[in-house]
Amino acid sequence: MNSTYKTSWFRAIPSFFGVLSIYVLLPSCDFWSDDFVVKIGNGNDVRVRLEFRENSGISKIQLYSESENYLLTAKELENKNTICFAFSEKGEGLVHVVVYTPIDTVLSQHYVERGFTVKLFFDNGKITTLDPTGY
C-alpha cells in the first residue's frame, strides 16, 4: 500500500468523525432540556420545529393540526427562540403555523404525515421552510 494513501486516509478520519458528530448532536425536538425551547403537543408522529430570533416583534404564535391547537403569548415566548410542536397523525393532514406581530399576521401551512419533521424559521415578517419533511 502506498504510504501517501495511508497518510491521507488517516487525515480524513478526524474530519469524518467531526462531521458525523455535528449531525448526531444537532439540536432537534428530542432535546427538550434546552432552556430556549418551548415544547408543546401530545404526540410524536409529526414534529414541527419553528425557530425565530428573540425580540423579533412576535405578539403570539399559534400552531394547530386537526387534533391539537396551541396559542403562545409573547410572555410565554420570552427568552425563547424555538418551539417544538409534536402531535399524533394517523394518516395525512395539515399543520398550520400563525405568527402574529403588531403590524402583520403570517400564516404557513404544511402537508404532513406520520414521521415528518417540518423545520421552519421566522424572520423579517416571513416564515421560511428549512426542511418540509425531515427525511
In the chain, where the domains are located? 37-131
pLDDT, tens only, 87-111: 999 889 999 999 999 999 999 999 9
* Phi, psi for 39 (deg, rounded to 5): -105, 130
Contact 26, 51 (CB under 8 A): no
What mean pLDDT comes out for the span 55-60?
86
- 37-131, what's its fold? Immunoglobulin-like (2.60.40)
pTM of the model: 0.73
In the predicted structure, residue 117 carries a pLDDT above the cut 50: yes
User: Quick one: pLDDT at residue 20?
Assistant: 39
Predicted local confidence at residue 17, as pLDDT: 47
